[in-house]
Chain A
């Protein structure tokens, strides 16, 4: 079922969660109805089996006449009847199970696809503020809880209710008095079982809590093994672990006590109910009010009436987890997506790369930042192919500024023009295709190196092209030393790349993508000098003929830029070429430059002093 998604979870959201779950079933309601009908037919066949048994017994005892008074022939028919009914019962039970699974698995798949797509289209602000673990938890466990709701709880409840109704009706037809006597205890049982499962859930949570405590203790001990050993604290650790371990045992016992009381107690109550029914029915049979056959049918039917009730309480309690999960998924679905294609302009060529910032300001619109702008009145322009360096300390707004270009965020006021056209008119998808980003420590996927290089290129690429890109990125030789060359997996199952290697793979990736605007996070502080030189070569190849924004950390790497912007607290405090900026004795740039020079001097002095 590959292709664009047809199901939109957002359209089915409802405040009432049960209603929401019902609306989520769109397209699957018919199969689900089918599952219920099949269930009813199957349950009816089962009930009919007991009625057939009744007929058979009555024939044996002579209460009913045999077919054409021919006993052996009647027996054959009855025997065939049993087999036939069981085919009916089994066949429809299978059909019902299959349809329910079709519904539940189908809905779950649809939901998974939707959530995956939805999440990757949510805004940057959302991803910036939502912990990954929480999202993963929701899209896995909560989806599974919803799946179980359709596959087990909803159908399970339907099963119990249907079985009850069908058997009760059959009993009523057999003998109304007996039927009513047999259900006296049910409301009580239902109440008890709800009460019980709620309690058990609580005790279970406490047990689980302790399990978490225990595994924390364990984990801290195992990961701190050096500390434990270095301080020779083995005995202390043993005592501590034993305390937690024993507490878990006690809580487990506490939980089990509940279980071991509920099951026999319900056995006892329901057993008494059945026995009472048997006595009444047997008395009636002896008095001739009902036939032996009716008694047999009663004994069979009443079991199907009573025992399922025990599980109803559990189902009701479990259903609440399905509802909670639905609510948690709803929260994700409600989030606004980024529109990738929106924009007045639908360009198909590439941009030239002339960029004009005209009084641009920007503030994040999440709760934490409460509207304080992180960029204030930014104005500058750059020609196609120029290199712009951004210099400034943490929080000065360098990153926020470059994040505007691929439209990760939209500026709040002012005008930002690309090739003379307002940036907001370009679709996001287009802007991202035109922009390449090389991060300091880029994210690579657990795929082969080849796939990582071609990731996001969006067209078929030949091996030659890939190798060429890798060579230009100065990483080809490194890749060849890996066991499977370009097919080597990155990450846990394959090779672990160093920071510098990752960066060069990302450069190769960007070269293949061939964007006209380039954003570089130029920090080489984490790599050694040799690697630094290699990365420089790679970067130089990359920057050719592209408008480049460099997030710079050192004077050394901004000197070559056509325009240097010095940022402080969201404002451009200085702009110009290296030559111009150094000439300004009171500027921040000069200050930084002086510090760098002073460092070099100090180093000289330091060395001179010891030698």
Chain B
């Protein structure tokens, strides 16, 4: 099951009652488009009311035209009828167009607002909310809210107007008969809601079963080799049949409940109709009700069934939409953790002393990541961070970039707490290359230019040359205008890294941060990356989360980070002499790199588990 489906399913379970504050905020969304809203409400109300009018004209055609034998009156009424058809067509056009465009517009507004707010939110927010979840805020949730304020409001207006108009006309024609109809309305509403709720329960059950089925398919296909190797085919089929049985039962039940629903409503209405026919017939004898009148009653009664059988559906959808709205509001109400202080100043330069002063940090309370971490870095120094995964290397980098701020202690730049500087002035002066380089869809040129938006083509190529990316770029068919694909997936990891190096070079940073890739790239690209890094680091302060020996050896200072502390610190020779953590890490790495170099082992080793197998988690 894809993550999206899972999120969707999970969020579908959430419903919320309509509360005034939420409703107020939803209505606020419509305020910029007041005229459109008023227009569409009028159009839908008129459309609905005209349906009632048509029936009434028809009654008069029968009574005043046909029964009275008056041809002229009949033509007169037919002309009015025709006129109203035109009016109604215009109204239908108006409400479909207005509501539809309004819906799209509200979605546009919501997406824009959320996106812009997301740009300001801190990394901590992103680590608590998966990309999939945020995506669903901007896609399905905004869609649902837009549906609520357009089609949802429209359904309600239409239904209410329809019932009111029908009731009024019926009362005008014959109030005694109208009373019979009033009596059944509550029954119909109750039956309608109860039925719909049952159907919804089954429907949800079947959705849940469906996602289990998708999950089973997914796992069985990705794990097909294991299934075959262990000969699990028959048992798997047996288990799967359990799921399809579950799905069959609930969707069949939902389907036949739906099929039963309309007939029941109709039968209740037919009983009222029978009463009307009988009583109307009796009354017509005393001239109280005409043939046209009886006919009109039959029609009104039929009309009224539609909104009533729809009411529960609309109500259920509304609850979901309100839950969506609440999630959206929660997003835009979240304040960013890291933000500019009121009197923040421009950092001016990062090429000064950088100091971590007794810094504590955790992502989740009671799970400390950095403990009393102190470090002083001289301008232009190159620091290599090594150590096991989860030791805190990335956290140091995150704090340095001020993606997060220390929970305790300070980070000082030029002897001043860096929270006194503006975020922009810090970020502008940092160049960063991530372990899994992130590129955007578009051309190579656009991706490099991301480092400095105003850069000329020459500057872009110059940066690529410095980063060692120029040669490979010019060797591909479209050169700098080659598309990198979604997320850069048309390029290899090594190539992506070269491009993100070029991007960092172009931004002319004062502080350079690199998280080296663990995955191996071919020797040639590796050499290019090394050279590019060298070029980038000269004259800059740099922090490298290092995995390559050549990088580590070049560092001015190596920090072995374990359990959120500096376990060892010094240059290459000093640390080797200590024969401690670093010594072990180094010899292991040394063996691996050389083995790779001599072609004894390559990490892209073919596996029994073949090309497209992904792990269960």
Q: How far is the CB of B513 from chain A (nearest CB, A)?
A: 8
Contact B607 A399 (CB under 8 A): yes
Query: Is A112 a contact of B213 with CB atoms below 8 Å?
Result: yes
Query: Cβ of A402: which chain B residues have Cβ within 8 Å of it?
Result: 608
Q: What 0/1 pattern do residues 577 to 617 of B give for CB contact below 8 A with A?
A: 10000010001101110110011111111111111111111
Q: Are B609 and A440 in contact (CB under 8 A)?
A: yes
A230/B233 in contact, CB under 8 A: no
The CA of A60 and the CA of B290, in the complex, are separated in Å by 9
Count of interface residues, chain A, beta-carbon cutoff 8 Å? 167
User: Across the interface, which residues of A come within 8 angstroms of B451, CB to CB?
Assistant: 231
User: Which B residue's beta carbon lies closest to that of A528?
Assistant: B388
What separation, in Å, do the CA atoms of A408 and B486 have in the docked complex? 35
A335 contacts partner chain B, Cβ-Cβ < 8 Å: no
A219 touches which of B69, B131, B226 (Cβ 8 Å): B131
Chain B contacts with A in 281-303, Cβ cutoff 8 A:
281-282, 284-285, 291, 294-295, 298
Q: Please choose the segment from B109-117, B187-195, B308-316 that sits at the chain A interface, where 4 or more of its residues have CB less than 8 A away.
A: B109-117
- Asked if A57 and B294 make an inter-chain contact with CB atoms under 8 angstroms apart, the answer reads yes
Give bound CA distance, A248 to B225, whole Å: 43
Contact check: which of B62, B259, B602 meets A295 at CB < 8 Å? B62
Kindly state whether residue B175 has any CB partner on chain A within 8 Å: no
Chain B residues, Cβ within 8 Å of A153: none
Which stretch, B22-30, B162-170, B423-431, touches the partner chain A?
B423-431
B472 at interface (Cβ–Cβ under 8 A)?
A: no
- Chain A proximity mask over B100-135: 1 for CB below 8 Å, otherwise 0: 110111011001100110111001001000010011
Q: Is the CB of A105 within 8 A of B255?
A: yes
Name, among A3, A87, A112, A528, the residue most crowded by chain B CB atoms within 10 Å (CB to CB).
A112
Residue pair A86, B270 in contact (C-beta under 8 Å): yes
A299 CB contacts on chain B under 8 angstroms: 58, 295
Which of A74, A101, A108, A292 contacts B67 (CB under 8 A)?
A292
Query: Chain A contacts of B93 at CB under 8 A?
Result: 260-261, 263-264
Which residues of B sit under 8 angstroms from A523, Cβ to Cβ? 605
- Choose from A61, A338, A519 the contact partner of B608 (Cβ within 8 Å): A519
User: Using Cβ atoms and an 8 Å threshold, which residues of chain A touch B71?
Assistant: 283, 286
B138 located at the interface, meaning its Cβ lies under 8 Å from any Cβ of chain A in the complex: yes
Bound form: Cα–Cα A406–B609 in Å: 14
A174 vs B428: C-alpha distance when bound (angstroms): 84
Given the interface pairs A245-B111, A553-B605, the reply to whether A230 lies near B427 with Cβ below 8 Å is yes
Can you name the residue of chain A whose Cβ is closest to the Cβ of B604? A394
Q: Which of these, A225, A249, A252, contacts B123 with CB under 8 Å?
A: A225
Residues of A within 8 A of B403 (CB): 226, 229
Contacts of B139 in A (CB 8 A): 211, 215, 218
In whole Å, how far is B89's beta carbon from the nearest beta carbon of chain A? 4
B222 x A218 contact (CB < 8 A): no
- Of B240-248, B355-363, B373-381, B475-483, the segment with at least 4 beta carbons within 8 Å of chain A is B240-248
8 Å CB contact of A439 from B487, B602, B607: B607
Q: How far is the CA of A246 from the CA of B107 in the complex (A)?
A: 10
Taking a contact as CB atoms under 8 Å apart, the answer to whether A252 and B100 are in contact is: yes
Within 8 Å of chain A (Cβ to Cβ): is B335?
Answer: no
Given contacts A245-B112, A523-B605, contact A132 B222 (CB under 8 A): yes
| Interface check A386, CB cutoff 8 A | no
Q: Is the CB of A136 within 8 A of B217?
A: yes
Query: Which of chain A's residues have a CB closer than 8 A to the CB of B552?
Result: none
- Taking CB atoms, residues of chain B closer than 8 Å to A234 are 119-120
- Report if B200 contacts A (CB, 8 A): no
Q: Are A446 and B616 in contact, CB atoms less than 8 angstroms apart?
A: yes
Interface residues of B in 199-223 (CB under 8 A from A): 210, 213-223
A521 neighbours in B (Cβ, 8 Å): 607-609
Is B90 in the interface zone, CB < 8 Å from A? yes
**Contact between A78 and B281, CB atoms less than 8 A apart:** yes
In whole angstroms, how far apart are the Cα atoms of A109 and B505 in the complex? Answer: 58
Do B277 and A79 touch (CB < 8 A)? yes
| Complex CA–CA separation, A568 to B612 (angstroms) | 24
Bound-complex Cα distance A456 to B230 (A): 5
Does B441 sit at the interface, judged by CB under 8 A?
yes
Chain B residues with CB under 8 A of A132: 218, 221-222, 612
B92 near A264: Cβ-Cβ < 8 Å: yes
Taking CB as reference atom, which chain A residue is nearest B427?
Answer: A232
Q: Tell me which of A76, A117, A443, A599 contacts B222 (CB under 8 A).
A: A443
Q: Does B278 contact A (CB under 8 A)?
A: yes
Q: Which of A2, A89, A246 contacts B263 (CB 8 A)?
A: A89
Question: How many Å lie between the Cα of A529 and that of B431 in the bound state?
Answer: 35
Is residue A363 within 8 Å, beta carbon to beta carbon, of the partner chain?
Answer: no
- Comparing B78-86, B525-533, B534-542, the segment that makes contact with chain A is B78-86
Q: Are B259 and A278 in contact (CB under 8 A)?
A: no
For the complex, what is the distance from the CA of A172 to the CA of B107, rounded to whole Å? 51
A285 to B298, CA, bound (A): 20
A199 beta carbon closer than 8 Å to chain B: no
Given contacts A232-B428, A444-B615, A444-B616, contact A105 B260 (CB under 8 A): no
Which A residues between 559 and 611 are near B, CB-CB below 8 angstroms?
A: 592, 595-596, 599-600, 602-603, 606-607, 610-611
Q: Is A268 an interface position by the 8 A CB rule?
A: yes
Interfacial chain B residues near A406, Cβ < 8 Å: 228-229
Give the residue of B97, B247, B258 whose beta carbon is less than 8 angstroms from that of A97. B258
| Minimum CB distance partner of B116 in chain A | A238
B232 within 8 A of partner (CB): yes
**Measured CA separation A222–B137 after assembly (Å):** 12
A442 contacts across to B, CB distance below 8 A? 226, 609
* Contact indicator A611/B576 (Cβ below 8 Å): yes
Question: Which chain A residues border B601 with CB–CB below 8 Å?
Answer: 525, 553-554
Asked if A264 and B216 sit within 8 Å, CB to CB, the answer is no
Given contacts A86-B270, A458-B235, whether A259 and B609 have CB atoms under 8 Å apart is no
Report the separation of the CA atoms of residues A220 and B487 in the bound assembly, to the nearest whole angstrom: 6
Q: Give the residue among B67, B93, B216, B258 with the most A Cβ atoms within 10 A.
A: B93
**Contact (Cβ within 8 A) B259 A56:** no
Do residues A271 and B222 form an inter-chain contact, with CB atoms below 8 A?
no
Q: Which residue of A lies closest to B127 (CB)?
A: A225
Using A96-B259, A230-B401 as known contacts, say yes or no to A120 and B236 having CB atoms under 8 A apart.
yes
* Least CB distance, A557 to chain B, in whole angstroms: 11
> What is the minimal beta-carbon distance from B592 to any residue of chain A, in angstroms?
7
What residue of chain B has the Cβ atom nearest to residue A138's Cβ? B217
A236 within 8 A of B: yes
- Of B81, B111, B441, the contact of A216 (CB 8 Å cutoff): B441
Contact indicator B438/A441 (Cβ below 8 Å): no
Contact of A443 with B255 in the complex, beta carbons under 8 Å = no
For the complex, what is the distance from the CA of A340 to the CA of B232, rounded to whole Å? 11
Selecting from A308-316, A352-360, A428-436, A533-541, the interface stretch reads: A428-436
Interfacial chain A residues near B275, Cβ < 8 Å: 79
Contact A260 B96 (CB under 8 A): yes
Would A136 and B221 count as touching, CB distance under 8 A? yes
**Smallest CB separation, A440 vs chain B (Å):** 6
Say yes or no for A393: interface residue by CB 8 A criterion.
Answer: yes
> B251 contacts the other chain (Cβ, under 8 Å)?
yes
The complex places the Cα of A1 from the Cα of B252 at a distance, in Å, of: 15
A206, chain B: closest CB distance, angstroms: 14
Whether the Cβ atoms of A226 and B119 lie closer than 8 Å is no
Contact B67 A268 (CB under 8 A): no
B382 at the A/B interface (Cβ < 8 Å)?
Answer: no
Q: Given the known A-B contacts A109-B244, A492-B617, are A93 and B231 also in contact in the complex, defined by CB atoms under 8 Å? A: no
Check A237 for interface membership: any CB of B closer than 8 A.
yes
Q: How far is the CA of A287 from the CA of B219 in the complex (A)?
A: 75
Given A286-B69, A443-B616, output 9 extra A-B contacts at Cβ < 8 Å: A113-B241, A241-B112, A261-B93, A285-B66, A299-B58, A399-B606, A408-B229, A456-B227, A551-B608
Q: Which 8 A-B pairs have the closest CB atoms?
A: A97-B259, A456-B230, A90-B263, A86-B270, A101-B255, A256-B100, A75-B281, A260-B97
Ordered by A's residue number, 29 sampled pairs between the chains whose C-beta atoms are within 8 Å are A60-B291, A71-B285, A75-B281, A83-B270, A116-B217, A131-B612, A221-B115, A223-B131, A232-B428, A252-B103, A252-B104, A256-B96, A264-B91, A272-B85, A275-B78, A286-B69, A338-B228, A393-B599, A399-B606, A399-B608, A399-B610, A432-B228, A439-B608, A456-B227, A458-B231, A521-B608, A553-B600, A595-B594, A596-B600
